[in-house]
Amino acid sequence: MLPLCLTPTSIPGLSPVSPQNPLLPQVWWTSASRPRVLWRPQLNSWRGCPAVTGFFKGAIFFPPSEAPGRPQEPRCWSSFLEHSRVPVVTEEVAREALLSFVNSKCCYGSAAAGDLIIQELKPQTLCRYRLETFSESRISEWTFQPFTSHSVDGPHRGTSPRLWDIKVQVPPMFQEDTRKFQVPHSSLVKQCHKCHGRGCYKCSGCHGAGLARCPSCSGAKRRARQPRRCQLCSGSGRRRCSTCSGRGSKTCATCKGEKKLLHFIQLVIMWKNSLFEFVTEHQLDCPAELLAKAKGENLFKDENTMVYPIVDFPLREISLASQRGIAEHSAALGSRARVLQQRQTIELIPLTEVHYWYQGKTSVYYVYGTDHKVYVVDYPERYCCGCTII
Ligand SMILES: [Zn+2]
Ligand SMILES: [Zn+2]
Ligand SMILES: [Zn+2]
């Protein structure tokens, strides 16, 4: 039995590494005699990369490998399942849920919800698996800013650290963020390429003259069919250029008039949260996207720097979802980001199909989630008042 098969073929771009032989996978044997094979990104692509010469615009550097996680403990699922009870939706609860749903909608009348006859309740409990992977990725890019200070932290002060060696404060787990840092010792000063070191350039509005044609008389000094001289330009035909306020030149926006630019390598760190979600199949007509967001009863939560696939959950599709989710996140992030934390949860989502009779017709609506949200397609008492029906 091999519960975990993160093989190199299933995770493109990753290759196994071991301390002894970089071509062999690292294998741990757990208490349940299950071999664990961990895969890490190829290290060659970033290792030995000199600080500055290796950088280029938008460069991606692979993170250093992480230490292996703790071995997986065998779990006793029956105790999880025994201690989790999803409350049963009674007829009263089903009606209350519908009433509060119609009251929240301006186009729904509440009389039908109060009067309809509930004939049958068909409860089901669905299982939702979620995997969240919080990862950090780092890229470097050349950038510049106006040179205002006289100190330049250039290569003469030392070698720049490698991207993944730069220590930064990590935001709280699962909180996305993007931050930018100046890589130490990467700066150099250059003449501004936009103004060629002049700090300003000729105004395009007046071509440097500081005066532009009068907008009132269009330079004719007097307005059409009027004998008097133009009042706006006092008969000169010209007005102070509004683009440059009459200066004839504009301060260079690139160097802000400083004439020089400080070029440096910028480290851009992105903390991202990837989500994998799976809800067990059901035969009812309730949209999957509602169930994916429904409030559930937490059955199991596992959080660590790296979680292990669930292999023996009584519902096989949940175990498979866990394995698929972890493999998908490894494949998507493995070679370009460092996983900082993972969290996987299993939740129970109650879903009740409510069969009802109203004015000679039978129909259904659904009550889902622990907070009793309602999904109804053909509510009998609906009006249109011009609002958008949600
Ligand atoms: Zn004028
Ligand atoms: Zn101008
Ligand atoms: Zn400039």
Q: What tens-digit pLDDT sequence spans the chain (390 residues)? A: 333 323 323 323 323 333 333 332 332 222 333 333 333 333 333 333 333 333 333 444 455 544 444 555 666 777 666 666 677 899 999 999 999 998 888 788 888 888 899 999 999 889 999 999 999 999 999 999 999 987 899 999 999 999 999 999 999 999 999 999 999 999 999 999 999 999 999 998 899 999 988 888 888 887 777 778 888 888 888 989 988 999 999 999 999 999 999 999 999 999 999 999 999 987 788 888 898 889 999 989 999 999 999 988 888 999 999 999 999 999 998 788 999 999 999 999 999 999 999 999 999 999 999 999 999 988 887 776 655 444
Torsion of the alpha carbons at 325, 331, 334 and 338, rounded to the nearest 10: -40
User: Which ligand minimizes its atom distance to the CA of 211?
Assistant: 2
Q: How many CA atoms lie within 13 A of 305 on its CB side?
A: 9
How many CA within 13 A on the CB side of residue 50?
A: 7
Which residues are within 8 A (CB) of 384 and not within 5 positions of it... i.e. 6 or more apart? 107
**If you measure from the C-alpha of residue 229 to the centroid of ligand 2, how many angstroms do you get, rounded to a whole number?**
24
End-to-end CA distance of the chain: 49
Cβ burial 104-114 (10 Å sphere, 16+ → b, else e) = eeebbeeebbe
CA of 218 to the centre of ligand 2 (A): 16
Question: pLDDT at position 83, please?
Answer: 62
Q: Which residues lie at CB < 5 A from ion ligand 2?
A: 203, 205-206, 241, 243-244
CB 248 within 8 A of CB 241: yes
Enclosing H/E stretch for 302: strand 297-304
Q: What is the pTM of this model?
A: 0.67
Q: What's the gap in Å between 250 CA and the centre of ligand 2?
A: 8
pLDDT the model gives residue 72: 57
Q: What are the beta bridge partners of residue 275? A: 132
Contact 96, 352 (CB under 8 A): no
Question: Token pair for residue 362?
Answer: 């039978």
Structure confidence at residue 384 (pLDDT): 65
For tokens 């269009």, the residue is 218
pLDDT at residue 322, as a whole number:
96
Contact 186, 51 (CB under 8 A): yes
**224: its two tokens:** 């059409």
Helix/strand/coil percent split, the chain, to 5: 15, 35, 55
Tokens 């787990």 belong to which residue? Answer: 173
Any idea which residue has 């350039």 for tokens?
Answer: 201
For residue 108, give the DSSP letter.
Answer: B
pLDDT at 279: 93
User: Which ligand approaches the C-alpha of residue 247 most closely?
Assistant: 2
Classified as helix, coil or strand, 113 is helix
pLDDT of residue 68: 45
Considering every ligand atom, which ligand is closest to the CA of 235? 1
Smallest-distance ligand from the CA of 217: 1
**Cα of 245 to ligand 1 centre, how many Å?**
17
Ligand at minimal distance from the CA of 230 is 1
What is the three-class DSSP state of 332?
A: helix
Specify the pLDDT at position 314: 87
**CB atoms < 10 A from the CB of 19, how many?**
7
| Whole-angstrom distance, CA of residue 302 vs CA of residue 322 | 12
Whole-angstrom distance, CA of residue 333 vs CA of residue 144: 29
Ligand 2 center–CA 220 separation, angstroms = 20
Q: Please tell me the distance between residue 191's alpha carbon and the centre of ligand 3 in angstroms.
A: 8
282 CA to middle of ligand 1, Å? Answer: 78
